[in-house]
Structures are given as C-alpha cells and as structure tokens.
Amino acid sequence: MQGYIYLILTIIFESAAIVLMKLADGTSHKMYLITGGLCYAATFFLLTMALKYLPMGYTNAVWAGASTFFVYIIGATYFKEKTSFVEFFFVFCILVGIIGLNFMSKGK
C-alpha cells in the first residue's frame, strides 16, 4: 500500500510541475519556475520511494500514463488548449491501459 501512496504523490507532483512550468511562461514568472523545479525534485524523490515497493516497469507505465492523462485534461480545460476528439480518444486509451495494468497486477 505504501508504494501506491508514493506513486500517487509522484503523479500529483509531476503533473503540478508541468502546470507550473506552463505558468512560468519561459522564465517570465520566476516563482512558478522555482516551485515547478521543487515539484520535479519531489517527483524524483517520491518515485524512488515508490520503486522500493513496486516493480519498475509497472511504476513507470502508471506514472507516465497517469501524468500524461492529467496534464492533457488540465491543458484542455484550464488553459483552453486546442484538442480534438481523436486526440482525446488516444489519451483515453492511455487511461484504459493503466486500468488494465492495475487489474493484471492484482492477479499476481
């Protein structure tokens, strides 16, 4: 259970870091840039902790996929980034893959 908590926090901090980097607007807003950097540092620490308890391939797939999904949704809703149904479909496929991985790992 502890590994999953670290993994969830990894996903949250990395997603926050990406959003903060967008808000930093290059280097125009230094506070967002610094906070984003701190979130990235926390991400690597938390990922290292998650890897103590969870398999590497599984952890990386869930981390990368979930973060991609969340950042895509935030970009489309909060930042009003242009998207299409086809893009949404393929990002949704990532989410389906993560759910499938979780069901497969429960049987082990």
Question: Once rounded to an integer, what is the mean pLDDT over residues 33-61?
Answer: 96
| Residue 4 buriedness (CB in 10 A; 0-12 / 13-18 / 19+) | middle
Residue 22 neighbours by CB distance under 10 Å: 16
Residue type at position 91 = V
Please report, for the chain, the start and end positions of each structural domain, with discontinuous segments joined by +.
2-106
**pLDDT exceeds cutoff 70 at 73:** yes
Interaxial angle between packed helices 30-51 and 56-77, expressed in degrees from 0 to 180 and rounded to the nearest 10: 150
Q: What is this structure's pTM?
A: 0.89
Task: Write the CB contacts of 4 (distance below 8 Å, at least 6 apart in sequence).
Answer: 50, 53, 54
Give tens-digit pLDDT for 81-94: 999 999 999 999 99
